Amino acid sequence: MELERVDGIIERHGADPSSLIQVLLDIQKENQWLPPEVLRRVSERLQVPMARVRHVATFYKAFSLVPRGRHEIHVCMGTACHVRGAPRVLNAVQEVTGIGPGETDMELTFTLKTVNCVGCCALGPVVEIDGVTYGKMTPSKAAEVIRNYK
């Protein structure tokens, strides 16, 4: 990501150290991940020690310090989905993609994440792929949907 764009985002938030989380969120949204040189720039321009930038970047689930796959799969593991069988859906997804939660496959096709409740509990179990919500998932249905993305 060009450092100019990073600077632009920092300016939009007034280069205020307390805007660290908001700045990183904007960068994450645009770039899909936080490369090391971007973190360094943020640390310099916001005058926040690198140790703290790094703690924030690793504390919050929204941030990724590694590149993500082309397709992002989110399996909801909220209580309502859990009670309706989400763990078995997750297993099926893991089997089809070959990766576990938090991982990206070597070809950068998929990134798999578990999320804690997207607020669509009536449709549980829920799997979101690239922002599209698939409701009332079962292990076999989830596997089929993902195979279509391959």
Partner 1 sequence: MARLNSPQELHRFQEELLSRRPSTASFVSICAGTGCLAAGAKEVIAAFKEEMEKSGIAAKIQSKETGCPGFCERGPVVVIYPEEICYLQVAPQDVPEIVAETLMNRKVVDRLLYVDPATKKRVQRESEIPFYKKQVRNLIGNNIRIDPRNIEDYIALGGYTALAKALFQMTPEEVLQEVKRSQLRGRGGGGFPTGRKWEESRNAPGDVKYVIVNADEGDPGAFMDRALLEGNPHSVLEGLIIGAYVVGAHQGFVYVRQEYPLAVENITIAIRQAEEYGLLGENILGSGFHFRVKVHQGAGAFVSGESSALMTAIEGKVGEPRPKYIHTAIKGVWDRPSVLNNVETWANIPLIINKGASWFTQFGTDGSKGTKIFSLVGKINNTGLVEVPMGVTLREIIYEIGGGIPRGKEFKAVQTGGPSGGCLPAELLDLKVGFDELTQAGSMMGSGGMIVMDEDTCMVDVARYFLDFLSEESCGKCVPCREGIRQMLKLLTAITEGKAKEGDLQLLVDLAEVACDASLCALGRTAPNPFLSTLKYFASEYEAHIKERRCPALSCKALVSYYIDPERCQACLRCLRSCPAQAISGAKDTIHVIDQDKCTRCGTCLEVCPPRFAAVRKVSGEPVPPPLPEEKRIIVREREGK
Partner 2 sequence: MRSVVLEIDGREVGAKEGMTILDAARSVGIQIPTLCHHEKLEPYGACRICTVEVESRGRSRLVASCVYPVEEGISVRTRSEKIDRLRKMILQLLLAHAPDSPVLKELAQEYGAKEDIFDKEPSFCIHCGLCVRYCAEVKKLNAVGFVGRGTKREIAFVPEVASKVCWDCKECFPLCPTSALQAAYMLVEAFAGSGPGVD
Binding site for partner 1 (CB under 8 A): 16-22, 24-25, 48, 52, 55-56, 59-63, 77-80, 82-85, 88, 91-92, 95, 115-124, 126, 133, 135, 138-140, 143
Binders of partner 2 in range 33-62 (CB under 8 A)? 34, 36-37, 39-40, 49-52, 54-55, 57-59
Nearest-CA neighbor of 91 among 75, 109, 106, 103? 75
Does position 65 interact with partner 2 (CB under 8 A)? The reply is yes
Picked from partner 1, partner 2, none, the partner binding residue 91 (CB below 5 to 8 A depending on kind) is: partner 1
* Cα 46 from chain centroid (whole Å): 24
From the CB of 52, what's the least distance to partner 2, in Å? 7
Nearer of residues 1 and 56 to partner 1, judged by Cβ: 56
Nearer of residues 41 and 84 to partner 1, judged by Cβ: 84
* Burial bucket for residue 38 (CB in 10 Å: 0-12, 13-18, 19+): buried
Nearer of residues 57 and 77 to partner 2, judged by Cβ: 57
Secondary structure percentages of the chain, helix, strand, coil, to 5: 50, 15, 35
**Beta carbons of 110 and 70 less than 8 angstroms apart:** yes
In which element (H, E) is residue 85 found? Answer: none
Nearer of residues 30 and 140 to partner 1, judged by Cβ: 140
What does the DSSP assignment read for 30-77? HHSS--HHHHHHHHHHHT--HHHHHHHHHHSTT--SS---SEEEEEE-
Number of residues that bind partner 2 (CB under 8 A): 16
Q: Which residues bind partner 2 (CB under 8 A)?
A: 34, 36-37, 39-40, 49-52, 54-55, 57-59, 65-66
